[in-house]
Amino acid sequence: MKLPIIGAAALVAVLIVAAGPLTAQSPPQDDSEKEIERYRQMLSDPFSNPGFLAVDRGEVLWAEKRGTKGVSLEGCDLGEGAGKLEGAFAKLPRYFADADKVMDTEQRLLWCMDKLQGLDTKEVVLRRFSGPARASDMEDLVAFIANKSSEMTIQPQLSHPKEKEMAAVGEALFYTRGGVNDFSCATCHAEEGKRIRLQGLPNLSVKGKTAQETMGSWPTYRVSQSALRTMQHRLWDCYRQQRWPVPEYGSEALTALTVFLQKQAEGGEIKVPSIKR
């Protein structure tokens, strides 16, 4: 699959200009937001979204025989049966009896790498977030798996007691304040139409369209970071802004928050990988 890389570079340039200095006369947010929206629409052609490169890399990784056991991930059960990818992401996080745990996509992948492939997950976790000279297996695999649920709806799994606990704890965590600024998720994400500096803040405290569009657009290609990012990275970055300690990758509180956010976003359409500022 050939991608117009020049197109991506041009987009970066345009977005930088759009986010640049604004004149006092123009309503600040609207201008840059509109520009970004315009380019987002131009990019609805999937072949110009660099996030699809990650999908392709993920597809290769999924089928590659790796680890001490020399097998691929094709035997991994993401909730819909071993190797079944269609619609699996739409129902994650969910309870897995074999692990006796509620897991999100990343946690489940790490579990399969460890148990199925005998792969050194420490090394994989070190590369959890890609950088200029560092590929991330996790980002690529999640992009591939999530893409297999594109155009499906978000279906939070809340029948098992542990899934119910996750949703309730996630909701409590959303309102838990701390850090030197006393921030919680709700400080920034519980009111309509607010912004921090010029960045619009989605209200995730209520069910509905905003939550649906937000959750239905992850994983996403972040133009400002030139990288595909998953919800694990988004929550890591928000806890950073919240002035909390570094959250452990693929850990309980992050999964709980994700279950809660999926609940808020129930029925939303998944369109991934998307592209964002």
Partner 1 sequence: MIKVLIPLTALLLAAGSANAQERPAQAVIDAYIKSTFGKASAEWQARIKPDDSLSVCNVTRNNPSSAQSDEMLKRESARVTYPADGKFLGDWKKGYQVANNGRGGQFSDPAGTVAGGNCFACHQLDPKEVSYGTLGPSLAAYGKDRKYDPETIKDAYTKIYNSMAVVPCSNMPRFGVNKVLDEQQIKDVMAYLFDPESPVNK
Chosen from partner 1, ligand HEC, none, partner binding at 277 (C-beta under 5 to 8 Å by type): ligand HEC
Our finding on whether 234 is near ligand HEC (CB under 6 A) is yes
Residue placing its CB nearer to partner 1 in the complex, 34 or 84 = 34
Question: Helix 137-147 and helix 51-63: axis angle, to 10°?
Answer: 100
Q: Which residue is nearest to ligand HEC (CB)?
A: 185
Q: Using CB distances below 5 to 8 A depending on partner kind, what does residue 165 bind out of partner 1, ligand HEC, none?
A: partner 1
Query: What is the footprint of ligand HEC within residues 190-209 (CB under 6 A)?
Result: 196, 199-202, 204
- Torsion of the alpha carbons at 78, 80, 86 and 91, rounded to the nearest 10: -70
- Tokens 């500022």 appear where? 277
Residue 251 in contact with partner 1, rule: CB under 8 A? yes
User: Can you give the length of the chain in residues?
Assistant: 277
* Helix axis angle, 252-264 to 231-241, nearest 10°: 100
Is residue 251 part of the contact set for ligand HEC (CB under 6 A)?
A: no
Q: Should residue 177 be labelled a site residue for partner 1 when binding is judged by CB under 8 A?
A: yes
Would you say 3 and 52 are in contact if contact means Cβ atoms under 8 Å apart?
yes
| Residue from 112, 185, 188, 238 carrying the catalytic annotation | 238
Taking alpha carbons only, the member of 132, 115, 113, 116 closest to residue 124 is 113
Residue 260 binds to partner 1 (criterion: CB under 8 A):
no
* Cα separation, 118 vs 152, whole angstroms: 32
Clarify whether 238 is annotated catalytic. yes
- The b/e string for 180-190 (b: 16+ C-beta within 10 A; e otherwise) is eeebbbbbbbb
From ligand HEC, partner 1, none, which one binds at residue 182 (CB under 5 to 8 Å depending on kind)?
A: partner 1
Q: Which does 4 bind (CB under 5 to 8 A by kind): partner 1, ligand HEC, none?
A: none
Whether the upstream peptide bond of residue 156 has omega within 30° of 0, thus cis, is no
34 touching partner 1, by CB under 8 A: no
Residue 242 as a binder of ligand HEC (CB under 6 A): the answer is yes
Q: Please, are residues 215 and 123 in contact by the beta-carbon 8 Å criterion?
A: no
Residues that bind partner 1 (CB under 8 A): 22-24, 28, 165, 168-169, 171-173, 175-184, 186-188, 191, 193-198, 201, 240-241, 243-248, 251-254, 256
